[in-house]
Amino acid sequence: MAGSWARLTESSAAVRFIDTNLRGSGQVMLQDNPLTGLLFLIGIGWSAFVSGSPQLAIGVLVGLVVATCTAIGLGVDRTSLRSGLFGYNGMLVGMALSIYLTANPLLWAYVVFGAGISVVVMLAMVNVAKTWSIPVLTAPFVLTTWLMLLGSYNFTAISLADVPPPALPSTHAIASAMPLDSLALVNAALFGVSQVFFIGNAITGVIFLLALLVSSRWAAAYALAGSVLAIAVAQTLGANSDGIAAGLVGFSPVLTAIAIGTMFDTPRPRVVFYVAAATIFTVITQAALNSALMPLGIPVLTAPFVAVTWLFLLPLRKLVL
């Protein structure tokens, strides 16, 4: 089936365009695989359906397609384009803006503009990051979304919907740090995977793990292990149990585990140790950035994943793991 799809992408420009977009979706978790991307979209669609928020699915599709079209229009490198590298940031920008901002006609113009900008930011960051042979990961999404959300504080026609108001960090902010029961833990582990797309839904989490599995069994294994490890670390350090239960400590560590883990052929003990250290540090970095961004009233998004993965990828050429 994969073979006939590949043939179709060669003969039909329309199928090729769809394939490029699906790969863009898959690249959110670093998979250059159209089936993975399709399953991601199905998982998102399921969540949008059961939660009655079509806005979310629309934001995702608009962001993805606009970003891909912008990249084509700008005449970017064809190999990168076809791998979906110019779609995933726009997809995430579209999703984040349609979640954190109130829906109105201007919002959709804002989403279209942001998805287009994400391509320029991607090109700029790739140019800088290639100096050290590292990928830019979701940094273009994070930067673009932060600026567009922060900017909205000064715009009456664009309103923040679902963000806690700016406040100074406080050690008294933690409502409760209690152990979770078994069911809550299983849910939390699945939510950690689904929250990569801002979704707290166990079925979506399962679909996302399947989506990874069809592309790479190690990617799926690292994702699940990363989510579980993040929960264990957060519980040990006494993080807010509501946040743990909602999967909010897991989504960046999940991505870190996939990104670092799949750099290696096989998970040898030393590799597992290195990936685990990166995953644990992502939990701490996420808590840190939560504090750092609290006065600005914007979410950390996947910045902890980006920062820690860069820190752990940059030394790799010098190490023998």
User: With respect to its own copies, which residue has the nearer C-beta, 39 or 148?
Assistant: 148
Closest distance to its own copies from the beta carbon of 273 (Å)? 9
Q: If you compute the radius of gyration of the chain from its CA atoms, what whole number of angstroms results?
A: 19
Rounded Cα distance between 196 and 210, Å, is 15
Of 44, 62, 287, 303, the one binding its own copies (CB under 8 A) is: 287
Closest distance to its own copies from the beta carbon of 184 (Å)? 18
Specify the amino acid at residue 257: A
User: With respect to its own copies, which residue has the nearer C-beta, 148 or 223?
Assistant: 148
Q: Among residue numbers 138 through 167, which ones bind its own copies (CB under 8 A)?
A: 146-160, 165-167
Specify the amino acid at residue 217: R
Rounded Cα distance between 143 and 149, Å, is 10
Transcribe 245-278 into DSSP letters.
Answer: HTTTTTHHHHHHHHHHHTTSSS--HHHHHHHHHH
Residue 247: closest CA among 204, 304, 188, 180: 188
Closest distance to its own copies from the beta carbon of 150 (Å)? 4
Taking residues 164 to 183 in sequence order and writing x for each that binds its own copies by CB under 8 A, - otherwise, the string is -xxxxxxx-xx--x------
Closest distance to its own copies from the beta carbon of 290 (Å)? 6
Answer for the pair 204, 44: CB distance below 8 angstroms, yes or no. yes
Q: Among residue numbers 24 through 53, which ones bind its own copies (CB under 8 A)?
A: none
Rounded Cα distance between 251 and 189, Å, is 10
Taking residues 108 to 137 in sequence order and writing x for each that binds its own copies by CB under 8 A, - otherwise, the string is -----x--xx--xx-xxx-xx--xx-----
Query: How many residues bind its own copies, per CB under 8 A?
Result: 73
List for the chain the helix, strand, coil content (%; round to 5). Answer: 70, 0, 25
Of 10, 78, 236, 268, the one binding its own copies (CB under 8 A) is: 236
Residue 54 interacts with its own copies (CB under 8 A)? no
Closest distance to its own copies from the beta carbon of 84 (Å)? 18
